[in-house]
Amino acid sequence: MDFTILFDVLTGKQVQKYYKDYMESQWFSRSELLEIQQHKLQNLMNHCYENVPYYQKVMKAKGLIPSDFSSLDTLGELPILTKEVIKSQYNDFTPLNLAKIQGVKSGQTGGTTGSILIKRNDAHTRSSSWGAFKRFEDWMGFKAGDKALILMGGHVIHSQDIKYIRSIVSSRLKHVLNNQIVFNPYSTDNNTTNRIIASLIKTDIKLIRGYSQYLYNLCQVMQRRGIRCHVPAITTTAEPLMTQHRDMFREVLGAEAYDQYGCGEIGGIAFECPQHEGLHITEERVIVEQNENNDLIVTDLDNYAMPFIRYYNADQAVIKQKKCSCGREHRLIEKVMGRTCDYVLGKKGEFLHWAYFWHLVFDSGIADKRDLSKFQIVQESQDQIIFRYVADSLSSEEIHTLTGNIQSRLGKVEVCFVQESDIPNTATGKYRPVVNKLIV
C-alpha cells in the first residue's frame, strides 16, 4: 500500500503531487522543461528580492530587478555562491518572511572537505525532492508496498531529548509503513552481516538502498560463502559506483544497479534510468551549470527557506551532449568525477583523480588476485602518499607495478603501502577513497 498521501497530510508535504507532475513532465520537450525552469526561477527571484537580504544587496549592486529574470540567461549575472560566502554572511541568507514559510527544517551538511554548513529547507523543497525520487523508484521497477532493504547511516551519537526520541519513533513508523528493513551500515560486525544476509535469503527484497563500498564488501562475504540470491534493483548514493561494483551486484545479488547524484544542500539532482546511458538531471527542480573545470554550479528552484542560487558544491562531472535513447530530453550527467578533495597532488601540481587508483588495482589484476576489499590513498605532503589496503599481502613485484604507474603520473613521489585489517568509513558512514589533507 502507498502511504505517501497519509505522510503528506501528517507532515504538510506534497510529495504525491510532485510525483504525478514529474511522471508527466519526464516526457516533456526541451522547450517545455526550460519553460518550467523559467517560471520557477522568476518566482524564486521575486521571493529573494523581497525577502532575502543577501540577494537584495547583490541584485541592487548589479542593477537587477526580478523582471530581468524573464530569461534564464540573466541567471549568469549573479555571482557564484560558495559555503564560505554563506558562512561569512549567514544572517543575510535568512528570509525576512521565514516564519511564514511552511515546514522549515535545519540540518548539517558537508564535512568531507572540512567545511560544515548549517542549511535550511522547507516542505516545498522536500516535497519536490522526494517526488523526483519516487519517479526514480518507478524507473527501477520498484512499486509502493514492495519490500526494500535500507543500508544507510543515521545518527552516530544518540541524544535523549524529546525531539530526538520523537524523530526516531517517526522514522521507525515510516519504515514499517513503507515495508522497509533497515540496518546500520556503521556496524560491520559478523552478527550484523549475518542478519543482513539472512534477510536477503529469506525475504522477497525488491530494492536495496546503500553505500556502494559497503554493498561491495557484503557481496564479497556472500561470494566467499557461496551464497547467491535475487534482488531486482540496487540504488547507491554518496559514494562512487564503479563498473566492478555493478558486476559484483549482478553476480551475487542478480541485481541491476541504478546510480543517483545529489548533495546535502540541494537534495537529489540526477537519476539513472533503465537505459544506463547517464543520469537524468531533474531539470524540473534544478538548473545545472558548469565552469571551465567541469565544476558543477547548481540552482535549487524550490528552496525558499535558504535559497541556493548558482551554488558551487565542489563536485565535478561530465555532462553529455547526446540525449538518452529512452526519449527523455533532460540533460545527462555521464559521470560524476567527485569532489576536489578526491584528488591527489603531484610534485609539479599534477592532479590525479581517485578513479585512477581504482582502475589501476583492477586493471592490473591485483585486486582480484589479492582479494582486495578496500583501499584508501592518504596524502599529507606532495612528496609522499600512503596507500592503505585491506587485502592479502602485496608482493614486491605488485608494489613495484603500482608504484611505477603512480609515479608515472605524479612524479617521483614516495608511495608507502600499509596493509590494514580494516579501513573505517567516515562518521557519516561513507567510504573515502582519498583523504587529501592538502586540499581543504
- 152-186 pLDDT, tens digit each: 765 433 455 666 556 666 677 777 778 899 987 65
Task: Kindly state the cell numbers that stand for 322.
Answer: 547526446
Lowest mean pLDDT among 339-348, 352-361, 401-410: 339-348
What is the domain class of 346-436 according to CATH?
alpha beta
197/205 Cα distance (integer angstroms): 11
Q: 93 near 86, Cβ under 8 Å? A: yes
In whole angstroms, give the CA distance from residue 289 to residue 122.
24
Above pLDDT 90, what percent of the chain? Answer: 62
Q: Which one is the CATH code of 1-339: 3.40.50.12780, 3.40.50.2030, 3.40.50.1100, 3.10.20.30? A: 3.40.50.12780
Average pLDDT over all residues of the chain: 88
Q: How far apart are CA 61 and CA 79, in angstroms?
A: 11
Higher pLDDT, 171 or 60: 60
- Asked whether the predicted pLDDT for residue 392 surpasses 70, the reply is yes
Per-domain residue ranges of the chain? 1-339, 346-436
Q: What are phi and psi of 337, to 5 degrees?
A: -90, -15
What type of residue sits at position 133? Answer: F
Q: String of b and e for 360-383 (b: at least 16 CB within 10 Å)? A: bbeeeebbeebebbbbbbbbeebe
